[in-house]
Each structure stands twice: as C-alpha cells, then as structure tokens.
Chains A and B, each alone.
Chain A
C-alpha cells in the first residue's frame, strides 16, 4: 500500500462548482497535513496547513482532516478557471524528521 494516495484525475468541473479533492494515507503517525496548488512547471504553492484532526477555512478553501479514517479533503467553493492546476496533499510525522510525504496530485480543470 502506498503511503499517500490521491486520485490523479483529471477532474473537470464547470466554473462555480464546488470541488472536492481527497487523499488517503496509511501511516497513523502523520500529524501535519498540507494542501498545495501547482501550476505546470512551477513550484508548489501552499494553500492550507492543518495540524491533527479538524477543519480549517480560508476564503474559498476548506481543509478537513479525519485521522480516524486516515482521510483528508480540500474543498474549493465557487471554483474559477484560475483554479485549474494540480493539487498535492502532503503530510509529515509529528517531530519525527523532516521528510514531508507528498501524494501524486490530482489534476483539476475548471471550465469557463
């Protein structure tokens, strides 16, 4: 079983739709969870950061972490064509090295 899994997509939605992106993971030691947006041939851009379980909202973005299910989600409300990118989840163990583990990414296309 891979350590972090994501549906690679592509996921196509119409402009204005609510987008749900998800990751599952196998290592229960992960404590820090992040979502990144990556445009083609660019560096990943940090969108959301969550510690342990819970929800966090920032503008149109909401991150959810369910540690009991080893499942994290990113919701994008009122999606825009500029949201078209690859979305990466990442996580790391609490105070155990610096090795952030990334999912393979989900490619999202928001159609005007």
Chain B
C-alpha cells in the first residue's frame, strides 16, 4: 500500500500565527492533494498539485493558503495567518496517474487557540 507520511501529527498554534504542514509521499507520483476535515464534518477538498503547479483549488483555498514542493519530495501546505476556524485535520493525499484511487496520509491535526 502506498505511503504518505505527514508531519506534524498534531500542532497547536495561536491565532494569527503561520503554520506549515508537511507531506512526504514515498514514491514519485504526479498528483498530490490537500484535504481538510473539521471535527465531525465531511472531508473537503482544498487543492490539487500537478507537475509542480496548482491544478485545481476549492473556494476554501483562499489567499491565506499556499502549497509548495520545495525540494522535489516534500509537499507543504502553508497557512499564513491562522484563524480559529482553521482548526481541523489536514490530510495529504496522492493518486496514481489520473485514476480514482486516492490514498491519504494519517493527517495533521491543527488546533488554533
């Protein structure tokens, strides 16, 4: 089973602080994703990243969010100025080419105080 490693597993931050969540896919796949799940709610698409560019993003993914693949392996999600409502589980995911098999990491839990 393909592996996606996410760090940190849990981060607590103060409102207004910047947060960087990291994802390390084990093998070199083209499509990467960030999803968010607020506690008790559904999994929501944030952004997809293809060939080192944003492929698609949702309305949730506003100017306070950004994604990068700075060194060709790590895949990061940055939240510039966190708000209370950003508290959620953030999942990195990947697919094999352009199929429907979407594999998730274990998630990073973000708590904004």
Interface residues, chain A, CB within 8 Å of chain B?
31-34, 36, 41-46, 49, 51, 88, 90, 92, 95, 97-105
Contact = CB atoms under 8 A, between A and B. Distances in A.
Contact of B100 (A33, A44, A103): A33
A44 B45 contact: no
Interface of B: 31, 33, 41-45, 48, 50, 55-56, 58, 89, 91, 95, 98-107, 109
B104 A90 contact: no
Contacts of B109: 41
B89 A92 contact: no
B98 A105 contact: no
B30 to A, nearest CB: 10
A108 to B, nearest CB: 16
B44 A102 contact: yes
